[in-house]
Amino acid sequence: MKPIKIADGIYWVGVADWNIRDFHGYSTYKGTTYNSYLVVDDKITLIDAVKKEFADELIGNISQIVDPKKIDYMVSNHTEMDHSGGLARVMHRIGEDKPLYCSKMGHKNLSMHFPQKWNYMPVENGGELRLGKNSLTFMETRMLHWPDSMFSYVKEQKLLFSSDAFGQHYSGPERFDDEIGDDIMPHALKYFANILLPYSPLILKLVEKVTDMGLPIETICPDHGIIWRKDPSKIIKAYVEWSEQKPKRKAVVVYDTMWHSTETMANAIVEELGNHGVHAKPFCLKHDHRSDIITEILDAGAVILGSPTLNNGIFPTVSDFMTYMKGLKPLNKVGAAFGSYGWSGEAVKILNGELEQMKFNVVDPGVRIQFVPDENALGACRELAGKVAAALPAK
Ligand code: FEO
C-alpha cells in the first residue's frame, strides 16, 4: 500500500488484512489493519512490525520512502504476533544487529517467540531515545493488554504511538478519523469490549496519570484501524466512559435452544422487560457471534442467560459464551438464568453458580421449565423479568 504522511517525517507504512474474519475468537467483519510507522529523522526508526504473512508488503511500503537497510532502530511496543510476526523478516532486511527497543517484558516475551539473539535494548518507563529533531519517550502500559505493552510518545509532535489501545478492527479506504467520522465508533467500541474490557480499572488509572502529567496529545496512532488526528480526545473520553461500565436500563438476553422452548421463554422475558421500560433484546447463539453480544453487554445493566439442559449440563454454545464472558470480566451487572429441560434440568443451577462467581447480582433462583412452557411457565418468565427490571437503574 502507499505510505501515508501523518506528520513531519512520520509515515504510516502499515498493511490492510482485508479478508480476516476471525481474530482469535473475535469476529472481524470489516477486516483489520496492522499499522506500522516510520519516523525519518537523523536516526530512522520503525515502530512495530506486522503479521508475518504481510512482512514483505511492509518492507515494500518502507522502500517507497527509504531503503530499509537505512533504518537505524526498531521499536516493538507489543509482542503479540499480529505486530511481531513480521519481525524476523524485517530484522533480516534492516540488519540483525540493529538496536531493538522494547519494554523489559517485551525483551523477555520476544525472546520466547524468536530464537534470534537480537540487539535488544530494554527501556525503562519514561526512558527517552533521541532521533534527531524528534525523540521517543517510552511509557510502560503493562496489561494493556499484555505484560509487555508500552506506548511511545513523540513530544515534539504531540503524537502517541499507542499500540493496541484506541485501535479498531477495521480496514477501509480511510486512514484518519476525519475521513470516516462517527462511523468508526462502533468498531472502536467492539474492540474495547472484546480486547480491553478486563483492564478497565487500569485504563482509568492510566488516563488519570496521563491527564495529571499534562501530556499534550494531538495525534494518536494505534496499531489497528484509523489514526485519531482530528479529535483524539473523543476516543480518550470514550475509553473513560466504557471503562466506567455504568449500567444502563438495558438487558441482554443470551440463549440457545434445542426445540424452541428456551427460545419461547427468552422472547417472553424480553417482552416483559420492554413493558417495564427496559431496553431489551434476545441474542440467539446460533445466529449472533459472541463478540457482538459482548459489545451489547458493555453498557447493559443485566445479562439474562437461557440454556436447555443437555446431558446434565449447559448447551455447548452457552458454555462457549460463558467461557468468553468470564474472561472479559464485565462489571456492575444484574444476572438471571432460565431454560427448558427434559428430565434432569441442571442448566439453570450451573448458570446461576457461574454468574455468582462472576459477582453478578443474581436476583432470582431462575426459571426451569420441563419440556414446553405453558401459560404458567411464561408467567414465571415474566415474573423473573420484573425482578430484573426492578434491580436496574431508572435510566
Ligand atoms: Fe494487536 Fe495485542 O495485538
pLDDT value, residue 271 = 98
Q: Tell me if the bond preceding 145 is cis, omega within 30° of 0.
A: yes
Nearest-angstrom CA–CA distance, 136 and 131? 7
Q: Is the pLDDT of residue 261 over 90?
A: yes
CA gap 258, 345 in Å, rounded = 14
- Ligand 1 atom closest to Cα of residue 146: 2
* pLDDT confidence tier of residue 205, bands split at 50, 70 and 90: very high
| Model confidence pTM above 0.75 | yes
Concatenated DSSP letters for 132-184? SS-EEEEEE-TTSSSTT-EEEEETTTTEEEEETTT--S--SS--BHHHHGGGG
Ligand 1 atom, smallest distance to 34 CA = 1
In the predicted structure, residue 211 carries a pLDDT above the cut 90: no
Q: Is the pLDDT of residue 214 over 90?
A: no
56 is catalytic: no
Instruction: Give the model's confidence band at 395: pLDDT under 50 very low, under 70 low, under 90 confident, else very high.
Output: confident
Q: What is the pLDDT of residue 188?
A: 98
pLDDT tens digits along 35-88: 999 999 999 999 999 999 999 999 999 999 999 999 999 999 999 999 999 999
Q: What is the mean pLDDT of the chain?
A: 97
**Atom 3 in ligand 1: residue holding the nearest Cα:** 80
Region 91-101: what's the mean pLDDT?
98
Ligand 1 mean position, distance from CA 165 (Å): 9
Q: Does the beta carbon of 48 lie inside 6 Å of ligand 1?
A: no
223 is catalytic: no
Residue-wise pLDDT tens digits, 138-196? 999 999 999 999 999 999 999 999 999 999 999 999 999 999 999 999 999 999 999 99
| pLDDT on residue 310 | 98
pLDDT band, very low/low/confident/very high, at 222 (cuts 50, 70, 90): very high
Given a cut of 90, whether residue 212 has pLDDT beyond it is no
Q: What is the mean pLDDT of residues 256-277?
A: 98
Please tell me the distance between residue 59's alpha carbon and the centre of ligand 1 in angstroms: 20
Q: Does the beta carbon of 82 lie inside 6 Å of ligand 1?
A: yes
> Residue with the nearest Cα to atom 1 of ligand 1?
164
Question: What confidence category does residue 252 fall into, taking pLDDT thresholds of 50, 70 and 90?
Answer: very high
Q: Which atom of ligand 1 is nearest to the CA of 223?
A: 1
390: left (phi over 0), alpha (psi -120 to 50) or beta: alpha
- Assess contact for 73 and 45: CB atoms under 8 A: yes
Strand bridging mode 22-23 / 26-27: antiparallel
Q: What ranges in the chain are assigned the alpha helix state H?
A: 55-63, 81-84, 87-94, 104-113, 177-180, 185-191, 200-213, 232-244, 261-275, 290-297, 316-328, 347-357, 375-391
- 41 CB near ligand 1 (under 6 Å): no
Counting from 1 in the atom list of ligand 1, the atom nearest the Cα of 149 is 2
191 is catalytic: yes
pLDDT per position as a tens digit, 272-291:
999 999 999 999 999 999 99
Residue of 82, 148, 177, 364 marked catalytic: 82
Among this protein's residues, is 80 annotated catalytic?
yes
* Confidence at residue 79, expressed as pLDDT on a 0 to 100 scale: 98
Rounded to the nearest angstrom, the gap between the alpha carbon of residue 66 and the centroid of all alpha carbons in its chain is 33
